[in-house]
Structure 1
């Protein structure tokens, strides 16, 4: 418990963390500005409304975290790589980014902006994408197996060899204003 209190009260701006695990922390509204996280894990943390200006995430895993109101596009894109598992991701911006091979496994991705993003080979398996926006997004070879509530216009996104599950894949036809019996 004492270590958790120390980590909770710690300054995160202008720091470098490598191989660290951050567990059960409320980091709401902290500044990660100019900070490097390399090979780190965030588990069961609240990461809402964090300042990510020039933050570097390299091989970072987020597990069972609450991630709300973040502008991920402000991160440093040098060697940017992260994954999300069992996270609540809402009202966050992932636009204009190269997120090839990124995993979003069993997440609630609500109201997120994924416009103009390279999500080639991304994995959204088991995720709920309610009210998230895709536009001019490369979803080639991505997986939406057992995902739900996604609204993807096949005319405005690249879907080459993208994997979907039945019956949710029928939502791709919503843009055509047709009736299916």
Structure 2
């Protein structure tokens, strides 16, 4: 099936391997990807509006290449690795319960984003707006409070101690 230059509305894609597919110039509106594999998918000028990913494996996607008109996505219990979210407006985006490894959030608006119960190993947050975002029960994040905007951001103990790692201090 061809996925580039197409339009899909209120579709559910279940148990599909989209490895190396092209979603170039494709519109996905009110769609769900459930238990799919998306590796190295070309998202150039694709439009993702109210798209949900559940239990998906997503590797090497550059979401910053998507059309930003009415861009809205969410992830639940997904494995995301080597994905780029830099220079994007991801306000209110859900990542709940996901493994978010080696992903870039540079110059990203993550206001009100939900990273609850996420594993954020090696993900980069720099110059990101994390105000009102939730990192409750998240782990393995490395967030420099000097290089990100934190206001009313929610964290859990003991992981919140990692915010101090940028300082040359000893905690006993």
The counterpart of 1:80, out of the listed 71, 74, 81, is 71
**Post-superposition offset of 1:177:** 1.5
2:3 is matched with 12
May I ask how many residue pairs the two structures share in their alignment?
172
**Deviation beyond 6 Å, 4+ runs, structure 1:** none
Alignment partners' CA distance in 1, 2:143 and 2:170: 18
Partner Cα distance (2:137, 2:46) in 1: 32
TM-score, length of structure 1 as denominator length: 0.95
**Equivalent residue for 1:27, pick from 6, 15, 18:** 18
Q: Which runs of 5+ in 1 are unaligned?
A: 1-9
The TM-score with structure 2 as length reference comes to 1.00
CA distance, structure 1, for counterparts of residue 168 and residue 49 of structure 2: 42
Matches within 5 A, 1:91-130: 91-130=82-121
Are residues 1:36 and 2:27 paired?
Answer: yes
Q: Could you say what secondary structure the match of 1:104 adopts?
A: coil
Q: Distance in 2 between matches of 1:49 and 1:26?
A: 11
Superposed displacement of residue 172, structure 1:
0.1
Helix, strand or coil at the partner of 2:13? strand
Is 1:137–2:138 an aligned residue pair?
no
Q: Which structure shows the higher helix fraction? A: 1
Q: Which residue of 2 aligns with 1:166?
A: 157
